[in-house]
Amino acid sequence: MELHGYIRHMKKYILRLIHTLCVIFCTNETLAQTTSADSTVIIEMQDGQMLIGKPVSDDGKEYGIQTLSKGLVILPKYQIKSISNSSSAKEINGEPVFENPHPSRYLYSPSAITLKKGDGYVQAIYYLVWQAHYALTDHWSIGATTSYIGAPLLLNVKYSTPISPNIPAKENQLYFATGIQGGGAWMAPSVIFGVGFAGFTYGNPESNITINGGFLGYTEKRSNYDNSTGTASFSRFYDGIPAFSLSFNKRIAPKTSLMGEFWFISNTLVGGPALRFYSGKRNSIDFAFLNAVGSDGSSIIGIPFISWTQRIGNKMQFFRNPLNRLN
């Protein structure tokens, strides 16, 4: 009875938490005035500085742009690393704000926000575990997760779609996703494990909340030896448990998002708050402190988590864009 009461209490708490987070984290705020011109460009300098503005001159040696924060700026071309079009770049206090390069995943749990065909990312967790994801279409994507020793090796497939596809991607809307991830490890070839899930995300790429539900399971091939006959037979064992996750992301500054990810697995709550820091248009770094709390009162507090992510699709498009090749 104590366990059932605990579960009922947790359900009520989670529902209230979801409602509160939707109000707080899915507010579609305007971070800053958008530079509203089709000819707006983003300039990346060799020293890493970013500038946003309207191009006004190009004599082959110098490039001039009219910026919101610094007025007219004339830049020697040898100092420019790249020039790219942008009709949606923003500034806060004179600092460029680029879109979240990694909206389809939190710390580990996925969101239902879609990747565009040809887009993807590579993520390094502790620089020990690596995973990559790539969009084959606007709805279907594939990925893999492994470590330096090649174990575990997990492959996954994900389908995601906006519920109302006619709503602009930067507006709040509801997304749906489902997928499966599974694999094994070479040191235990008889064991296969994985997870199947489905989930919903509400919000936009900068501020959103996601709830996922699924089933964690594994299967193992076992041998049974009959002493009386001296023969061996094989059988397969199956086991698994349901799991749920709640995650959110809230853009709070030009280069920072407040995030959180929480898992409810077998009467244990695992997760914690996090911060995502953005670097340019492709990179982000996540810092978190994870906690595990069991229904019996046991707990582990403050496990550090760090990961780095690079958006590989954006990088590929950069090399294909002729505006990025300086004359």
Same domain membership, residue 241 and residue 184: yes
Same domain membership, residue 285 and residue 156: yes
Token pair 């009467």: residue: 267
Annotate 99-165 with DSSP letters as a single string.
--S-TTBSSSSB-SPPPPTT-EEEEEETTTEEEEEEESSSSEEEEEEEETT--SEEEEEEEEEESST
Domain range for 82 = 41-86
Q: How far apart are CA 78 and CA 62, in angstroms?
A: 8
Is 219 a member of any domain?
yes
Q: How many domains does the chain have?
A: 2
Burial zone of 33 (CB within 10 Å; 0-12 exposed, 13-18 middle, 19+ buried)? exposed
Same domain membership, residue 125 and residue 9: yes
pTM for the whole thing? 0.76
Mind listing the pLDDT tens digit for each residue in 251-299?
888 889 999 999 999 889 999 999 999 987 789 999 999 999 998 888 9
Same domain membership, residue 205 and residue 57: no
The CATH number given to whatever domain includes residue 291 is: 2.40.160.40
Same domain membership, residue 288 and residue 255: yes
Is 248 a member of any domain?
yes
Q: How far apart are CA 76 and CA 88, in angstroms?
A: 25
Is 92 a member of any domain?
no
Is 107 a member of any domain?
yes
Nearest 10 degrees: CA dihedral of 248, 249, 252, 256?
A: 130
Tens of pLDDT along the chain (327 residues) come to 454 555 565 556 566 666 666 655 565 444 444 334 457 788 888 887 778 888 999 998 999 998 877 889 999 999 998 887 765 556 555 566 777 888 999 999 999 999 989 999 999 999 899 999 999 999 999 999 999 899 999 999 999 999 988 887 778 999 999 999 999 999 888 899 999 999 999 999 989 999 999 999 999 988 877 777 777 778 888 899 999 999 999 988 888 999 999 999 988 999 999 999 998 778 999 999 999 999 888 899 999 999 999 998 744 443 334 334 333
Same domain membership, residue 157 and residue 46: no
Same domain membership, residue 222 and residue 180: yes
Same domain membership, residue 183 and residue 137: yes
Phi, psi of 253 (to 5 degrees): -160, 170
Is 239 a member of any domain?
yes
CB proximity list for 12: less than 8 A, separation 6 or greater: none
Same domain membership, residue 69 and residue 135: no
Same domain membership, residue 80 and residue 183: no
Neighbours of 313 (CB within 10 A): 19
Is 91 a member of any domain?
no
Q: Are 114 and 138 in contact (CB under 8 A)?
A: yes
